[in-house]
Chain A
Amino acid sequence: MSINQKVGFVFRQENCVGCGACTVACQIHNELPENHRFRKVDRYEVQREDGAIDVWLSHSCMHCENPACLMVCPTKAYHVRDDGIVVLDREKCTGCGLCVSACPYSAVSIREDDGKADKCNMCVELLDRGMKPACVTGCPVQCIEVDSIDEVLKKPSASKEGVGYGDCITKPNMVIIKERA
């Protein structure tokens, strides 16, 4: 595949058990303040015919094709790499918070320790060395991956809709794959 293929997170929501290991693995790799999370895990109680069930959504930055964060940022701190990863250069951030309000996925927030925005950069320093992001290797259930979005979307079970997640004008690059009916 070409180096220009867009990568994104691939999430098997049907397998996620909401344990939070991905959140912590990310915080540790990225040396985040204790109360700052790039990756969050939400629980949804979904009503079905025979009663309610719980479904978890592990989510971070969606690395959108039309990133709202990038569009509103006055200091051009955001940048889209050739592989589609939306990176934030914190050195350019002034902490104005426009990206925080613009992001439809609540993926950016201002850090308490230095007043600047911060978000998931898909652990590009790992990816560039052929390794996987901390959340991917940090999920004991193995339900997060990064892969070529175009390739994954060809699978009949893949979509940009899941419990708590849907497509929008920023064109998010997270795919939910559902292999069991």
Chain B
Amino acid sequence: MKINRRAFLQGVGASSIVSSLSGLMPGIASATEQRGGAPDKLLKREGEIKYHTCQRNCADRCLLKFTVQNGRMTYVEGASEMKKMGTSPCVKGHAYVQYTYAADRILHPMERAGEKGEGKWRRISWDEAYAKISSRLKTIIKDHGADSILPYSYSGHEGVIGKYGGPSRFFNAVGARKLDRKVCVFAAYEGLKSVTGTYQGPDPYDNIYTNCYISWGQNETATNVHGIKFINQARDKGAKLLVVNPIRTPIASQADIWLQPKPSTDTHLAAGIMKYLIENNLADTKFIEANTLGYQDLLKRLDGMSYDEIEKVTGVPTEKMFKFAKAYGESELSVLRLGYGMQRNYNGARMSRAIAMMHAVAGQYGKIGNGFIYDNTQADDSLNYSKGRADHIHPNSDTVGHVNMTEIAKAIHPTNPTAYGKPIKPIKAVINYNGNFVSVAPDSNACRRGAMRDDLFLVVHDFLMTDTAELADIIVPSTTQFEFPDMGTDYNCYHMQTSEKVIEPVGESKDNWIFFKELAAHMGLDHHPELRVDYEQILRDFLDTDEPAFRHNNITYEQIIKEKFVTVYDQRPYFGDGKYKTDSGKIEFYSEMMKDAGYHPVIDFGLPEDEMIPEEKNLPFRMLSPAIPQRANSAFYNVKYIRNFPAYFAKVNTEDAKELGIENNDRVRLSNHRGEAFFIAQVSSQVGRGTLMAPKNNWRRMDPQGKASCTNNLTTDKLTDMGGCSAYHSTNVALEKA
């Protein structure tokens, strides 16, 4: 559609001047008053509207409205008809037009024309790319077996087709090695399941009814910014805000009480709070009696713990902890939001468990306005994944030997490849899509050494030259999420949302389904009917589910397409029936599951330092590497308007900085046995003594210091206590002025 500028300007004349600003009617334009106005700026908002869900790995999963003119995306705003959204994306989502049309997008296939990583490329056609990839993969399959091909992907694209529906069909048909995509939530899943049997919880829309919101190990500003308005609504009505975080997040600053424990000492802190609640008659004994098992064991376990010991371990002054516990214990309704970062520790499952137990001692489950929110995957878990991914093509998947994505550096080690602590058959090809493991996976230097192996065939499907793509043998250009139709599930507010195709693929790029489908045809794998279908069929396969949460509202493909978003039914109030999902049906203060895993069945006080090798344990700083609001994992690093927000900094405590002679904006060097990284110091009391904070997943190739260093040069790839999750935050480093 071509917009005639004059017609447009007439179209938005005086008749459309209706003010919605609390009765405010701005001056109706007279000739002079129009000065300074720039009506041209409105042109980008006129056009066809497409609804599309943000597919970055962010709990908000925003439903966005894109304006399209002449096939070009021109503007984005929030789909305000959806309560969680309001009018606004986050700081990143605002820049999606710049993201999509970034000048550095890769627009055609390329093949390496020099040594690995040398940066020399030759443009090739798609036909050549397919021929080269399929012939090399076929040779690898013949010589080493299909299980020497490893896919690598995670949260580059969280759409139903983009993440699994498209690519997994191909890898199942190949019979490739299985990648365990467990980088994130899984340690806490185990910890929380040991208490209530689930990691799911109440609908955050009900946070407005609470008397007390507890943010524990979560930075809402970076990873759930749209949830903040609901907390504020509750606070406007008098609710308290309590925060536990080793970093002073924005809402920690705004809290009524903020506790700043030393990193990973949350088990001790939760135990101290439980002890206080019990000793001061703030434990909900009626609730405990009716809903829990093993309370006597808990009392015994807490008896052995002194407040002095807790203060020593956590660094939280006892009086302050008491103040917090009192405010919490006296609150009629408290909702606790656990962050997705804190479980990335060697003791992640055990900490999560203690926090969920604490909430049971306070009797805070089962009512509207209370409960425990971690990962509300109700919509996602209802989908028929095995059908959507066509798992039946590859029924013996357990025999091919899994690789945990957190351990990719170990799995592609040049001489001693291992997975889960055991030697494995070498990986001969890695196909990287929806991901950038050299930036994102821990121990980046080791990832890079593995990727540089001459005998490793690395194919990267991406739309940017990432740290991983620059080591590839062949790069095939991917679309962004906006260039094909998909759907997405929210993991906070129970929604299933549409992702309409906004624009045609840019350049010669191909999306996650078309690429793998065409590659399958070139490899002679398209005798599987599952590899010949269209987008709609894949979505219908995922939606072919009898899950009650989904069926309750008779959710259909047509409905999602028409209504743009649907809410998957779930309990309200959550656990209102007093039936917990553990084997016993009760909240378990004593857990056989923990015992079987080799930990104390009530509370296990193990700390990450217990598991570090001495050379790391003895380093003076714990480095936390959480998300920052202006990046989503390794995405947005190149995007205009976003790239200038700093992402290569280290927050250093004021006193520590003084001792080391470091001043604000000094260059600093962080190091350990894995490597070194250079950052700009931000000196403040936002972090406690002995703690450093550096943003996660920054790229080596964009390091403004020019040292090709990044946070993950330093991070550990050892797995968590349970659930096989990453433990990035269990990383110790040395700090010095660079």
A binds B: yes
Which residues of chain A have a CB within 8 Å of any CB of chain B?
1, 3-5, 7, 14-21, 23-25, 27-31, 34-35, 45, 50-56, 79, 81-83, 85, 87-89, 121, 124-132, 137-142, 145-148, 179-180
Q: Which 10 A-B pairs have the closest CB atoms?
A: A87-B36, A17-B250, A53-B253, A137-B87, A21-B91, A125-B37, A82-B27, A17-B221, A83-B27, A121-B36
Q: A54-B248, A128-B29 are in contact. Are A141 and B228 (CB under 8 A)?
A: yes
User: Known: A17-B250, A140-B226, A179-B236. Contact between A3 and B37, CB under 8 A?
Assistant: no
Tell me if B77 and A137 are in contact (CB < 8 A).
yes
B641 touches A138 (CB 8 A): no
Q: Are A28 and B26 in contact (CB under 8 A)?
A: no
Interface membership of B28, Cβ < 8 A: yes
Q: Per-residue 0/1 for B24-56: is the Cβ within 8 Å of any A Cβ (1 yes, 0 no)?
A: 111111001111111101100000000000000
Contact B90 A140 (CB under 8 A): yes
Set of chain A residues within 8 Å of B25, measured between Cβ atoms: 1, 3
Task: Give complex CA distance A63, B498 in Å.
Answer: 41
A5 to B642, CA, bound (A): 36
Interface status of B525 (Cβ within 8 A of chain A): no
Give A151 Cβ to nearest chain B Cβ, in Å: 8
| Cβ contact of B86, chosen from A20, A35, A142, A148, cutoff 8 A | A142
Q: Is B153 among interface residues, defined by CB-CB distance under 8 A?
A: no
Q: Which residues of chain B are near A128, meaning CB under 8 Å?
A: 17, 26-29, 33-34, 37
User: Can you name 14 A-B pairs with beta carbons within 8 Å?
Assistant: A4-B27, A17-B254, A19-B91, A28-B94, A30-B38, A87-B35, A121-B36, A128-B37, A129-B12, A130-B19, A130-B21, A139-B88, A140-B226, A142-B229
Question: A85 vs B220: C-alpha distance in the bound complex, in angstroms?
Answer: 34
The reply to whether A52 and B36 form a contact with Cβ atoms under 8 Å apart is: no
Identify which of A20, A31, A126 gathers the most chain B CB atoms within 10 Å of its CB.
Answer: A20
Contact of A125 among B38, B94, B228 (CB under 8 A): B38
A19 to B220, CA, bound (A): 10
Contact with A along B527-563 (1 / 0, CB 8 A): 0000000000000000000000000000000000000
- Given A24, A121, A129, which contacts B95 in the complex, CB threshold below 8 Å? A24
A180 touches B24 (CB 8 A): no
Q: How many residue pairs, one in A and one in B, have C-beta atoms under 8 Å apart? A: 177
- The prevalent SS among residues of B at the interface is loop
Is there a chain A Cβ closer than 8 Å to B4's Cβ? Answer: no
Interface residues of B in 9-25 (CB under 8 A from A): 12, 16-25
Q: Is B630 an interface residue (CB 8 A)?
A: yes
Of B38, B251, B645, most buried by chain A (CB within 10 Å of CB) is B38
B291 at the interface (CB under 8 A from A): no
A8 to B42, CA, bound (A): 21
Task: Judge whether B32 and A20 touch: CB under 8 Å.
Answer: no
Which of A23, A27, A128, A131 lies at the interface centre, i.e. has the most chain B CB atoms within 10 A of its CB?
A: A128
Asked whether, in the complex, the Cβ of B37 is within 8 Å of the Cβ of A18, the reply is no
Task: Find A5's partner among B24, B86, B94 (CB 8 Å cutoff).
Answer: B24
Q: Does B140 contact A (CB under 8 A)?
A: no
**C-alpha gap A7/B27 in the complex (Å):** 10
A124 pairs with B37, CB closer than 8 A: yes
Which residues of B, 662-695, contact A by the 8 Å Cβ criterion?
A: 684-686
A17–B225 contact, CB under 8 A? yes
A168-B644 Cα distance, complex, nearest whole Å: 32
**Chain B residues whose C-beta falls within 8 Å of the C-beta of A139 in the assembled complex:** 88
Query: Chain A's nearest CB lies how many Å from the CB of B22?
Result: 6
Q: In the complex, are the beta carbons of A138 and B23 less than 8 A apart? A: no
Q: B640 within 8 Å of A by Cβ? A: yes
User: Which residues of the partner chain A approach B228 to less than 8 Å between Cβ atoms?
Assistant: 15, 17, 140-141
Most interface-central of A20, A82, A141 (chain B CB within 10 A): A141
B42 touches A3 (CB 8 A): no
B99, chain A: closest CB distance, angstroms: 11
Which B residues lie within 8 Å of A4 (CB)?
Answer: 27
Besides A130-B18, A130-B19, A137-B77, 13 other CB < 8 A contacts? A17-B250, A24-B95, A25-B94, A28-B94, A28-B98, A28-B641, A51-B685, A54-B248, A87-B36, A88-B36, A129-B16, A130-B17, A140-B90
Chain A nearest CB: distance from B210 CB in Å? Answer: 15
Q: Do the beta carbons of A20 and B24 come within 8 Å of each other?
A: no
Contact between B88 and A148 (Cβ–Cβ < 8 Å)?
no
Q: How far does the alpha carbon of A30 sit from the alpha carbon of B36 in the complex, in Å? A: 12
Q: Once the chains are docked, how many angstroms separate the CA of A85 from the CA of B16?
A: 20
B92 to chain A, nearest CB (A): 8
Give the CA-CA distance A70 to B241 in the complex, in Å. Answer: 44
Q: Are B685 and A141 in contact (CB under 8 A)?
A: no
- The 8 Å CB contact of B248, one of A15, A53, A83, A132, is A53
Does the CB pair A21–B19 fall under 8 Å?
no
**CB distance A147 to B29 under 8 Å?**
no
Assess whether B35 is in contact with A21, with CB atoms less than 8 Å apart.
Answer: no
Identify which of B17, B19, B41, B91 gathers the most chain A CB atoms within 10 Å of its CB. B91
A79 pairs with B21, CB closer than 8 A: no
